[in-house]
Structure 1
Amino acid sequence: MKATIVPEITGAYVFQPTPYADERGFFSRTFDADVVRSVGLDPDAFIQDSVSRSGRGVLRGLHLRSGAGEAKLVRCSYGRVFDVIVDLRPDSPTYRERAFFELSDETQLTLYVPAGCAHGFQALTAPADVSYRIDRPHDPAEDVTIAYDDPELNIPWPLPVTSMSRRDREAPSLAQALKHEGR
């Protein structure tokens, strides 16, 4: 497994495994504490794992946490997703920059999303399973959502949206969300 810096977002990384494939299928290490540690992250900081399953065209996001934020490792364990990170850390040299990725079960890439960055994805297949490993217990009172179609962000979502949560549909603009968060 190797770690690669994401140039658009300071502190973000892509962890690329080296799958072993044969006639049975494949085997792939999806987390390696030594590799995580090699880029200055604490592998023991990740305390909660979750998974979501989405149908083709489903959009989830853009989400972030208020307060101390939430760092996460994100991987598409089945199917394919179009994944987005937006840097919303005012003191970051990449503030308001965006980065786009395709995560899939074929590549098994894992994306590290630093605390203070918004994250979202759209399922490109049905189903698409996305696994999350986060560094704090989830507290719904700290959830912040930003409109997926905010013109300031101009995210090129690849498919028409087939479904999203009410919270995502009613999300405020980036400017409104940042004003509410005092950023």
Structure 2
Amino acid sequence: MKATPVPEIVGAFLFEPTPHVDARGFFSRTFDAAVARSVCIDPDGFAQDSISRSAKGVIRGMHLRSGRGEAKLVRCSYGRVFDVVVDLRPGSSTYRNMRFFDLSGDTQATLYVPAGCAHGFQALTDPADVSYRIDRPHDPSEDVSIAFDDPELAIPWPLPVALVSDRDRQAPPLAQALERV
């Protein structure tokens, strides 16, 4: 497994495993504490694991947390997603930068999203399973959503939007959401 810095988002990393493929399928390590430590991520600093399953075209996001924020490891364990990270840390040298990723169950790559960055994705397959490992317990009172179709972000979602949650459909534009961060 190797960890590659994401130049557009300071502190973000893409962890790429080396799957072992044979006639049965594949085996892949999806997390390695030593590799995490090598890029100054505390492997013991994660508090919760979650998974979402989405139908093709579903958009989840854009989400972040207020206060200290929330760092997370994100991996598409099955299917494929168009993944988006936006740096919303005011003091960051990559503030307001955006980066897109093609995450899939075929590669099992994991994305480290630093606290203070907004994150979201669109399912490109039916279904797409996304696993999350977050660095502190979830507190719904700290949830911040940004309109997935905000013209200021102009995210080029690759498919027509099939479905979004009520929370995401009613999310404010970026400028208004930043008042809550």
Partner of 1:118: 118
- Taking the aligned partners of 1:177 and 1:163, their CA distance within structure 2 comes to 21
Equivalences for 1:27-42 in 2 at 5 Å? 27-42=27-42
- Taking the aligned partners of 1:163 and 1:153, their CA distance within structure 2 comes to 19
Displacement, 1:47? 1.4
Partner of 2:72: 72
Displacement, 1:141? 0.4
Pair 1:157 & 2:157 matched: yes
Asked if the contact 2:66–2:180 (Cα under 8 Å) also holds between the matched residues in 1, the reply is no
Instruction: Tell me the matched-pair count.
Output: 181
TM-superposition CA deviations, 1:32-68 (whole Å, max 9, x none): 0000000011000011100000000000000000000
Partner of 1:62: 62
Question: Could you tell me the TM-score, scaled by structure 2's length?
Answer: 0.99
Displacement, 1:180? 3.4
Change (3 A) 1:39 1:129: same
Q: Which runs of 5+ in 1 are unaligned?
A: none
Pair 1:26 & 2:26 matched: yes
Query: Per the alignment, in what secondary structure is the counterpart of residue 175 of structure 2?
Result: helix
Equivalences for 1:95-174 in 2 at 5 Å? 95-174=95-174
Q: Which runs of 5+ in 2 are unaligned?
A: none
- Runs of 4+ aligned residues of structure 1 deviating over 4 Å after TM superposition are none
- Taking the aligned partners of 1:94 and 1:133, their CA distance within structure 2 comes to 23
- Taking the aligned partners of 1:116 and 1:130, their CA distance within structure 2 comes to 20
TM-superposition CA deviations, 1:91-142 (whole Å, max 9, x none): 0000000000000011110000000000000000000000000000000000
- Taking the aligned partners of 2:127 and 2:148, their CA distance within structure 1 comes to 21
% same residue: 76
- Taking the aligned partners of 2:80 and 2:65, their CA distance within structure 1 comes to 25
Pair 1:15 & 2:12 matched: no
Asked if the contact 2:49–2:133 (Cα under 8 Å) also holds between the matched residues in 1, the reply is yes
Partner of 1:179: 179
- Taking the aligned partners of 2:70 and 2:180, their CA distance within structure 1 comes to 18
